[in-house]
Each structure stands twice: as structure tokens, then as C-alpha cells.
Amino acid sequence: MSSPLEASRLVIRPFSEQDLPAIRSLFIRVNRALAPPELRDAFEHYIKLSLRDEIDVLAEAYDAARGHGFWVASGPEGIVGMVGLQRVNAGTAEIRRMYIDPAFRRQGLGRALLRHAEQCAKQLGYDALVLSTAEIQTAAIELYKAEGFTQTSVEVADAQNVRTIGGGVRRFHFEKKL
């Protein structure tokens, strides 16, 4: 059991290639834990697709030269969280791949990662952030609303891609002006 995070123990920093095994592991563990029994096969396919097309090519997918960024939260326990930022257009960036190790949830880490991404977006000249999350991620939805994100739409995701599991799961879209 982990104790509450202390700011002095936690570092949010840009990812490095050496972090990829830990990032992969965190991504897989969180998605497997999220998977309802009736969607386990769909989640396994989603994990494989996302690893191949995004996580395993993180440096390309989150290239800083294109206005992107990817950060990890690490401490004595290793990498316990991550968040990405991808350019949508000249004024808007999208929060992506925000995952927290289940043992470190409800300790302020998600809020710290989200605020870090917001600050980086401002420094990169963005004036708005967007994000989306699945209906099964209720704690994330609560966090985004508490941090000033406004829900802009809901869609039923039938098709699977690196952004959604598909399978008829509802996806909530949010926006925040910076």
C-alpha cells in the first residue's frame, strides 16, 4: 500500500526512450484493469493496436518539433503516471494517454499531470485544450470537470482505433480555454 505522494518524491519530466518498457507496462495494466468482462477481447486488440501505432513509436507520435510532448511521473517506485499532448491545430492541443498507476490514484497525481500538460500547452502557445475519455473512466471524467473542462459532446464509438476501444462505448469530449 502506498502512502500519499509527497511533492519532493515525485518528478514530472519528459519521457526518454529508456522509459518505454515502463510506459508500455503501465498502459497495458491500466487498460486490462478497465476492461469490462464483455469487452476483454476488444481491449486486448485495442492494446495491441495502440502499442504498435502509438506507444512503441512514442518519440515520433509526440515529436516536440510538431508541437507535441509526452511526460512521465516518476518517483522511487518508478514510473507511476504519464500524459501526452498533441497538436490539433495552431491554437488547440489534445491531452492524450493520461494514465495513473492504480496504486497511486486519488493522491493528486492526475491533477498534477493535467496541470503540467496545461502549463506546457500555454508555453507552446496553445489557447485551448481538448480531450476525450470513455464512459468507464468515471474518475477521469470527475477530474476533468473539477479542473474546468467543459463537456462539448458525446459519441458512441463503434469503430476501434488508437483513440477508442469501440464496441459501442460512449466517449465524452471536453474542452478548456487556457
Convert the pLDDT of each residue in 29-76 to its tens digit. Answer: 999 999 999 989 999 999 999 999 999 999 999 998 888 999 999 988
pTM of the model: 0.89
- Domain assignment present for residue 49? The answer is yes
- Asked, for residue 45, whether it belongs to a domain, the answer is yes
What gap in Å lies between CA 88 and CA 105, rounded to an integer? 28
Segments forming the whole domain that contains residue 161? 7-177
User: Is residue 110 pLDDT above 50, yes or no?
Assistant: yes
Half-sphere exposure (CA, 13 Å, Cβ side) for 147?
Answer: 23
Instruction: Let me know if residue 67 belongs to a domain.
Output: yes
Do the domain assignments include residue 2? Answer: no
Q: At 153, which CATH number?
A: 3.40.630.30
Structural domain count, the chain: 1
Q: Tell me, yes or no, whether 24 lies in a domain.
A: yes
**Other C-beta atoms within 10 Å of 80: how many?**
25
Phi, psi of 78 (to 5 degrees): 105, -155
CA proximity to 54, closest of 79, 88, 20: 20
Domain presence at residue 1 = no
pLDDT at 7: 47
**Residue 102, in any domain of the structure:** yes
Cell numbers linked to 156: 458512441
In a domain, 115, yes or no: yes
